[in-house]
Amino acid sequence: MRRCAGGILLQGKGILLGRRASNRGFYPNVWDIIGGHCETGEEPEETLVREMKEEIDVTPCTFTKCAVLWEPAPECHGEAEYHVFVVTAWVGRPVALGDEHAEIRWFRLEEAMELDLAHPAYRDIFVAIRDGRTGATS
C-alpha cells in the first residue's frame, strides 16, 4: 500500500493549494495539497518536509497532523493512505518547482471548498480548519 504525506499552508484565512499538471497519472488538472509518496523507511513528517522543499521550495517549521485519508478510488489507483498536515510556519516563499503542478495559488477557505479537488475529504478538512478544529493556529 502506498503511503503519502502532504501539507496545507495556512496563513490567516488563506490556504495554499497546487493545481496538478495535466500530464499527471493520478488526478490530473485538479487542486491538491502539496506533498507526495513516502520513501522506504521515511515517516510521514519527513515526507512532508522533503516534498514541500522539492515542490514549492518551502521548509515547514510548525505543523500538525489533522487527518489520515484513504484512497477514494482504490479500484483504479490501488490502496493508499494520505497523511495530511496543516502547516502554520515555514521558511521560504512558495514557488512552483518542477512539473508536478501547473500552478500554485492562495485561496480563502470558502473558495477552496468550491474547487475541483483531488480528494473529496479535503472539504471536510477545510471546514475543520475554518472552525478551528485541527489544533492548528495561524
Domain limits at 97?
2-130
pLDDT given for residue 43 in this prediction: 97
Question: pLDDT by residue (tens digit) across 55-91?
Answer: 999 999 999 999 999 988 877 878 999 999 999 999 9
DSSP state of 97: -
* Per-residue confidence band for 137, with pLDDT thresholds at 50, 70 and 90: low
Tell me, yes or no, whether 136 lies in a domain. no
Tell me, yes or no, whether 80 lies in a domain. yes
Interatomic CA distance for residues 34 and 61, integer angstroms: 15
Tell me, yes or no, whether 8 lies in a domain. yes
What's this model's pTM, rounded to 2 decimal places? 0.92
Tell me, yes or no, whether 137 lies in a domain. no
Mean pLDDT of 102-120: 94
Tell me, yes or no, whether 138 lies in a domain. no
Mean model confidence pLDDT for the chain? 91
- Provide the number of structural domains found in the chain: 1
Interatomic CA distance for residues 85 and 62, integer angstroms: 10
Tell me, yes or no, whether 107 lies in a domain. yes
Where does residue 119 rank: exposed (0-12), middle (13-18), buried (19+ CB within 10 A)? Answer: buried
Question: pLDDT by residue (tens digit) across 5-17?
Answer: 999 999 988 999 9
Interatomic CA distance for residues 16 and 31, integer angstroms: 10
Interatomic CA distance for residues 52 and 64, integer angstroms: 15
CATH of the domain at 78: 3.90.79.10
